[in-house]
Amino acid sequence: MAAKSNTDSEDLQGKGADNGFAEDLKWLGFQRHEGLRLVPTIDEDVKGSLILLKEPESLAGEDAFSRRERLAELIFKNKHYRDIFEASIYYKDGTDEQNMDEEDEVEEEEEEDFYTPASGSLIDSRKFLIRYSLNKARERLMKESQRFQEFDMTQEIKKRRHFAMKTKNIELMGSQVVSTRPVSQVSLSPNGSLVAAASWAGDLTILNSQTLEILQNKPQIHMGKIGGIHWSPTGDLITAGGEEGSVKLFGYKSNTLEEMATLNGHENRVTDSKFHPSGRFIASASFDMTWRLWDVETQEELLLQEGHGKELYSLGFQCDGSLVCSGGIDCKGLVWDIRSGKRAMSLSGHTKPIYSLDWSPNGYQVATGSGDGTIRIWDLRKPEEYQTILAHKSIVTKVAFEKNGNCLVSSGYDKSINLYGAYNWAQLTTLQGHMDKILCVDISENASSVVSCGWDRSVKLWTMQN
């Protein structure tokens, strides 16, 4: 009997333990589901609920979280309390939250499914871009591989030192006033024989790069400030963006400047425009917070790309023609793969707007110039890392790589032009001669000449002396 009595006692204890464990699980389930759904999250509502139940509003040492737990436990353990609570203004049945969750899910599904179908022209263009960029990348990598095999450190150091010494001999050789308002843009032709300059008055001027003689001048091609002029790879076309929101295409042949087409679509000022390395496309950046891709032959808008939170100031094509980098007032650069239309990466770090950017001829580095006075060099192979150049005392207005990638040139509101070695980004030389803020600068192959323009309404020529 004693043995049976012990067995019964153990069974009863086991059942009691099971019941207690089940009760704990039930309470835990209520806390996770019912409590979080029914009990107010705002501490003032929790206190109001406790007062309604005639329980202490707060206990000694009790924080808001513990107070909410206490209310949930009271409601769970006392059906009378729960009835009172559910009839009060503090009770939430979770319907609103459920509806909101369902709406959010629908919105998320809609966002995931939403897309703009690519036009036939864009699809054909992307097929071309894939073929073109792969061929260009293959050529670039073959040259890089050959250079690596033939690399001699001693000769390389001598070459760098020689180049650095030559840049010390760059001097101001000429100046030409070309407009009644600040000259905002300057660009050297691919063979270096011509200079295109544009102003805030809307004028476009072609000059001889050796003498700064004015060869052609077209007044008021745009209504107001011109942003972003660029020569086509063949040197017979020029693109220029305007304050009224259009991009104009000009042909230049036999000292004759002729308007070829007007590209309309932007809803605000165009701040930059660039030819694709193939010459088949133009990209333009605007204050409407978009950049667009145009077909040169048909003048069709192929792509409208959003992504920036504020106005854009600059963009540029990578040398293989597969990527575009854009930058602006939101202080970040965005890299886009135009073959797929997807954003490849974001370049964040500047504390003020990006006013200019340029790709290195090596294909994997981007330089961005900012209103914070710095230039940052981003390596796309290691996007989380960058190098900072303390470039100017105020706004950096323009950055441009020398055609072979030997150096980088920049201009700024501090009236100076700086050259930096592309191997360690050390400053090689500073050019001074402008009487006011410099707005733009460009550099020829091997830094044999530099052209600049600015608020003093002039285009200046700097050449390397032997």
Identify the DSSP state of 447.
G
The per-residue b/e assignment along 429-438, b for 16 or more CB within 10 angstroms, e otherwise, is bebebbeebb
User: Among 109-113, 200-204, 397-401, 412-416, which stretch is predicted with the lowest mean pLDDT?
Assistant: 109-113
CA separation for the pair 424, 310 (Å, rounded): 33
More confident residue, 175 or 68: 175
Q: Tell me which residue has tokens 């004015």.
A: 214
Instruction: Extract the tokens encoding 257.
Output: 């400047």
Q: Residue ranges of the domains in the chain?
A: 2-113, 120-464
CATH class as words, domain 120-464: mainly beta
Mean pLDDT of 86-108: 54
pTM for the whole thing? 0.75
pLDDT number for residue 105: 47
**CA neighbor of 162 nearest in space, from 447, 408, 359:** 447
Residue range 67-85, pLDDT digits in tens: 888 888 888 778 888 888 7
pLDDT number for residue 383: 75
Residue range 292-332, pLDDT digits in tens: 999 999 999 999 999 999 999 999 999 999 999 999 999 99
Percent of the chain, pLDDT > 90? 69
Mean pLDDT of 349-360: 96
